[in-house]
Every structure is written in structure tokens, then in C-alpha cells.
Chains A and B, each alone.
Chain A
């Protein structure tokens, strides 16, 4: 249906944003790409008093490498993630994730900052930034604050963002030669939200030993779900069919999926196990893959 009546203001700087937020009051919301927010207006799932358009704030744009991190501005669109050479080199997980998000026309508007701030439990990017051990950079009138991605997400559509605070950037530790990054998901139709998905970031030494591993599921809980037990089952082991099987078994301790439109907990658990093997097998030594 048509959107509700609401106000609109556009700001072109963070100072302008703080003033606009003061003037608009607590019922106003921030408009970035709008690809989820504007759809919720159509469903009347949200009725903000007004929208404050931040899409022209230059300081929220751009991708660059600083020291050991890739800094991605909050207004970076999914389409940019998919084709930016710095992202492909330093955070390949995000480049792989972007084409899985909705459809091309939506990826041309939707932003990483918007996706993280919304914290949809079935969205790819929250799981990716947790798997990457990224830092979310937040700003408010009182200055900047940095939060580990794993502390930023608090549950279903809930984050650490305070009123009057926005996501300004994401900082991702750059990939090393030992990094292995992948994202896999199961959807009913291309572009749909995932029935279940997995973002995996591993560090694998030359001898095949897993030095570090972060497996983060989405679409199977209230947000980005870190599979601690499954990750622990792999760390310090050789990556092999046996260690992958052990990680799969450990998932029982990690996930407690709720039922949703797609099915019950057992279906989700099954899919999580399938995805775990699908994600990790390509990282096996060639001889094992052939077996």
C-alpha cells in the first residue's frame, strides 16, 4: 500500500544530521539506501514521523585501506562491495556475499551501514562482519565509538546503536595468505532471504592445520549466530573430512533454531550441517577432495 504521511529532510554533513535529529524528535528514522525501510513503510510495519536522508553525506562514502584494516564507508552499496577491487582483495567474503543479497536493482541502492543497523536475522552482511572479526564504527554528537561486530548485534533487529547514533563505517582486518573466506546459503528462489546461511572465515596454515576459525550462521536464529563449538572443533586440527564431521556434530550445541515460514528446527539444523560441509570441503587439500 502507499506510504504513510511523514516528513523528510536531507542533510549533507554529520553536524547537519545531529541538528536534524534534534529537530525531528525520537520518532524520526534515518534513511540510507531505503531498500528495507521503505518496504516496511509499504507494509505499515513502521510509521516514522519523518525520514532523515543521509545519502549525501560524503564522509560516509568510500572504501580505503588504513594500516591493517579495510575501511568501508556506511553508504557503500552492495553493488559496490561486489565489484570494488579493494574489497575483493582484502575482504573477499564481502565480495562473495554481495551478489547473494536480493536482486541487482536492490543492490544498487541498499547499503552496508543500513543492513548492519537493521540487523535482519536472515541477512548476509551481519553474519559476514562477525565472521571477519570486523569493528563497527559508530558516531553521535558526542563523537565516535568503536564496537566489535560480535558485540554490536544484540538479537532480532536489535543492535548496540543508541538513539542519536549512526553507523559510519566498518573496519575489516585485511585477509592474509592463510585466510580462507566463504559464504554459502540455501534459498527457495534466487535473491530470497536465506532459509539458512553460513559465513566462514578460517586461517589455514601451510600444513593444513586450522589456526583460527569463525563460523557464523544466519537465518537460523535471532541474528548472526556464532557456532562456537563447531569452530572450536576445528581449531588446532587438520582440516579433513573427519574434522569437518566433528564440527558438524558439534553444531548441535551451537544452534537452537526457531521455526519460521520455511520449516521447523530440525530442517534448519539439517541445512546448517549441509552448509558447513559445503563451505569447508573446498578448502581441503586436493587429495582429500578427490576422495
Chain B
């Protein structure tokens, strides 16, 4: 079997083609091959959530996805989500609520939070806590993070109703 695989995929709207080592997970691929250093490498076994990105529209652990398996995939990282403006209000709320302290968990936290905004617009604070329970913040800034997400959900619901 091959230890290098040719893949062509779309990352943040741009087509990229590379030959990747099969040992490479998606996050090392994004960081080392493409220079997209927003998603962070941390625990590397699927526990901490710092590497959360989107593949084909769904939030995934980048460290538990083989880059070699992604031929034809659509990948979105925090850089892409920032550029499209999809989560501009969420990012502003993180700043306003001081929900980003050392910042290491923040990109993954934002991608997970974007998932709530998309799939569970009526999420309660408990729902938010449950949803981000797989994203660790070692500054333990969870209260502010939940506040920020809750603010955005409420604001979006209000603008929807208006």
C-alpha cells in the first residue's frame, strides 16, 4: 500500500492538490502544508477539541481525520469562517465577554460554537454547555464562553423575530 497519497480538496474555498504522507492528520496538513495555523494541534487523540474544523459542512476533530482520506472533501477552518463573516458576531461576542484568554482553545471553540448557531438556534445555556463539553479551555474560562455564545443566540433570535 502507498505511504504517500495524492489528494485534491477545497480548503476555505480554494482548490488545493498535494501529495501527503499517510501519517499526516488534517491539522498537521493544514498547518504545515498550507500555513493555516488557526486550528491548533494539542492532545492529538481526540479529547481536547483545539483542532476542531469543518469537513463537508460538519465539525470534526482534525487530529482524528487522515489527510490522505480527504480527496474531494470541502474543508473550512477558522480562517475561512472569519473571511466569510459567518461568525463575525460570535467573534465580537468573544471579545466583548473576554471569552478568549490564552487563546489556544479559541479557534476550536468558535468552530464548535458555530455548529450550535447553525443547528440549534434555540439552545439553552445547558445545551451550550453540553455542546462545547468536548472543547477544553485550560484557562477554565467557560462561564465567559457560554455567555458569549448565549449572547449571540439571543441576538440572532431577536433579529430573526424583528
Interface residues of A (CB under 8 A from B): 1-10, 23-24, 28, 31, 34-35, 38-39, 42-43, 49-53, 55, 79, 102-106, 108-109, 189-191
Closest Cβ of chain B to A66, distance in Å, is 28
Q: Which residues of chain A come closer than 8 Å to B64, judged between CB atoms? A: 34-35, 38-39, 106, 109
* B66 within 8 A of partner (CB): yes
20 of the cross-chain contacts (CB-CB < 8 Å) are: A2-B23, A2-B44, A3-B22, A6-B1, A6-B3, A7-B3, A8-B2, A9-B1, A23-B1, A24-B1, A34-B69, A38-B25, A39-B64, A42-B44, A104-B115, A106-B61, A108-B58, A109-B65, A190-B130, A190-B133
Say which residue of A7, A31, A50, A108 sits within 8 Å of B60 (CB atoms): A108
Give chain A residues whose Cβ lies under 8 Å from the Cβ of B115.
Answer: 104-105
- Size range of the interface on B? 20 to 34
Closest to B20 in A: A8
Instruction: Give chain B residues whose Cβ lies under 8 Å from the Cβ of A6.
Output: 1, 3, 22-23
B38-55 interface code vs A (CB 8 A; 1 in, 0 out) = 000000111001001000
Residue B78 interfacial (CB < 8 Å)? no
Query: Across the interface, which residues of A come within 8 angstroms of B112, CB to CB?
Result: 104-105
In chain A, what residue has the closest Cβ to B47? A39
Query: How far, in angstroms, from A108 to B115 measured CA to CA in the complex?
Result: 11
CA distance A39 to B23 in the complex (A): 12
Give chain B's interface residues, CB within 8 Å of chain A: 1-3, 5, 22-23, 25, 28, 44-46, 49, 52, 58-61, 63-66, 68-69, 71, 112, 115, 129-131, 133-135
> Do residues A7 and B69 form an inter-chain contact, with CB atoms below 8 A?
no
Which of A8, A10, A55, A191: most chain B CB closer than 10 A?
A8
B141 → chain A, closest Cβ, in Å?
Answer: 17
Q: Which of A31, A35, A38 has the most CB of B within 10 A?
A: A38
Chain A residues whose CB sits within 8 angstroms of the CB of B134 once the complex forms: 102-106, 191
Identify the interface centre among B23, B64, B112, B130: most chain A CB within 10 Å of its CB: B64
Q: Which residue of A lies closest to B71 (CB)?
A: A10
Q: Which residue of B lies closest to A52 (CB)?
A: B1
Nearest Cβ in chain B — how far from A198, in angstroms?
21
* Chain A proximity of B77: nearest CB distance (Å): 14
Residues of B within 8 A of A10 (CB): 69, 71
**Given A7-B1, A42-B63, residue A106 in contact with residue B25 (CB < 8 A):** no
A77 to chain B, nearest CB (A): 9
Task: Write the chain B residue with the least CB distance to A25.
Answer: B1
Is A105 within 8 A of B60, CB to CB?
yes
Residue on A with the closest CB to B108? Answer: A105
Is B23 a contact of A106 with CB atoms below 8 Å? no
Look across to chain B and name the residue whose beta carbon is closest to the beta carbon of A1.
B44
Contact in complex: B66, A191 (CB < 8 Å): no
